[in-house]
Amino acid sequence: MELVFATNNAHKLEEVQAIVGNRFTIKSLADIGCSDDIPETGVTFEENAKQKTDYLFHKYGLDCFGDDSGLEIDALNGEPGVYSARYSGSRDMERNIDLVLSRLGDNPGRTACFRTVISLFLNKQQYFFEGVIEGHIIHERRGAGGFGYDPIFIPAGYDKTFAEMTPEEKNKISHRAIAVGKLAAFLKDNAD
């Protein structure tokens, strides 16, 4: 069975394919010849993920899923949230991290979480799957791995940032892994 993943990120695609297993062939946007800039104008992760699957279903009529993720910091009222990729107005993650650290200052309340929402459109039905990992934001960057806000986020129960973990360590506990695990379990039970 084929499912289109609304992404061109080869790394994400491989990760999902590995978790979902070979009963499903996951195709990228490029695989179906879609080079459109799919709108992402929602104010929640759900809205953005749904925009991707609505767009693909209406244009191609294919079963598909799409995700949206970000960092939510309690002391910043959930920011950067859906604006995580462009919080400082640019995609430059150094500037985005600097902005988070300067907005937090020396505020002792530093709890935060990463959240992923996946929208699945299967047999004309809409489903959502969510993954959340709680943690806190440290005062300075640590670690060279990962991407995005990984150098400033320590998951609860650990003493390493996501950027200090190996990809295997992070991928066992990450918000994305939790959401994809739920998607994979659902697909195993519901698709023939």
188 binding ligand IMP? (CB under 6 A): no
Interaction of residue 65 with ligand IMP, rule CB under 6 A: no
119 touching ligand IMP, by CB under 6 A? no
The CA-CA-CA angle for residues 137, 174, 113, to 5°, reads 35
Please say which residue, 115 or 187, places its beta carbon nearer to ligand IMP.
115
Q: Which residue type occupies 189?
A: D
For ligand IMP, the binding residue among 63, 79, 150, 164 (CB under 6 A) is 150
Q: Which of 51, 53, 161, 174 binds ligand IMP (CB under 6 A)?
A: 174
Is 68 catalytic? The answer is yes
Determine the distance from the C-alpha atom of residue 123 to the mean position of all C-alpha atoms in its chain, rounded to a whole number. 24
> Does the footprint of ligand IMP cover residue 149 (CB under 6 A)?
yes
Cβ 118 to ligand IMP, closest distance in Å? 10
Minimum CB separation from ligand IMP for residue 181, in Å? 15
| DSSP assignment letter at 87 | T
Set 68, 106, 150, 192: catalytic member:
68
Q: How far apart, in whole angstroms, are the C-alpha atoms of residue 80 and residue 87? A: 6
**Residue 70: CB minimum distance to ligand IMP, A:** 4
Does the footprint of ligand IMP cover residue 114 (CB under 6 A)?
Answer: yes
Task: Tell me the per-residue interface mask from 121 to 140 with ligand IMP, x by CB under 6 A, - otherwise.
Answer: --------------------
| Cα distance between residue 137 and residue 43, in whole Å | 23
- How many chain residues interact with ligand IMP (CB under 6 A)? 14
CB-nearest residue to ligand IMP: 148
Q: Percentage helix, strand, coil, to 5, in the chain?
A: 40, 25, 35
Where do the H-state alpha helices sit in the chain?
A: 10-20, 45-60, 93-104, 167-173, 175-190
DSSP of 146-188: SSTTGGGEEETT-SS-GGGS-HHHHHHH-HHHHHHHHHHHHHH
Q: Which residues bind ligand IMP (CB under 6 A)?
A: 68-71, 84-85, 114, 146-150, 162, 174
